[in-house]
Structure 1
Amino acid sequence: MLWIAHWGGNGVYRWNPDNGELLDRIDVPAPNVTSCAFGGPNLSTMYITTARVGMTEEQLAEYPLSGSLFSIETDFNGLEAYSFAK
């Protein structure tokens, strides 16, 4: 499955790449989500970054946590990084 950060979408969405079905969504209190990664001891913590660049004063007042890093415990586990040598 694919976890995708949605700029302007207030969250990270989990998609089935085989059929395009939306399976899950993790919402954050910031509209511009930039990236996501699993970490923590069991790779079950989702780290989500957001941006505040280009936002108006009104948008920043509505979403004051824009630009923050969020961490959320999930029921999912990421994969360990693949190590390789040249």
Structure 2
Amino acid sequence: MKKLETGKYEFNFPEEPKFEGELIYKFTKGDWSEVEIDRYGNRTPNRHWNDDKAVKLEKVAKWRKKLASLSPLSASKNPFDFRGI
């Protein structure tokens, strides 16, 4: 995503067949440990984009906080490296 200003980003999907039709997605800050949540802290349903509009404006209410101490994989850059756990 391209940062436009503080808190505002833009993404342009390539014009490829795999992006035609319905898109189902969620926003994260790089991985699932920091995924979007609703304003009450609950999980959000997947987002859908299935119209022909060229632009879609989205807002994220809140982000789930990354809790490194609860993630055994967070200490390793290799997700298959479990040494020291």
Normalised-by-shorter TM-score class:
under 0.3
TM-score (norm 1): 0.24
Of the two, which has the highest radius of gyration?
2
TM-score (norm 2): 0.25
More strand by share: 1
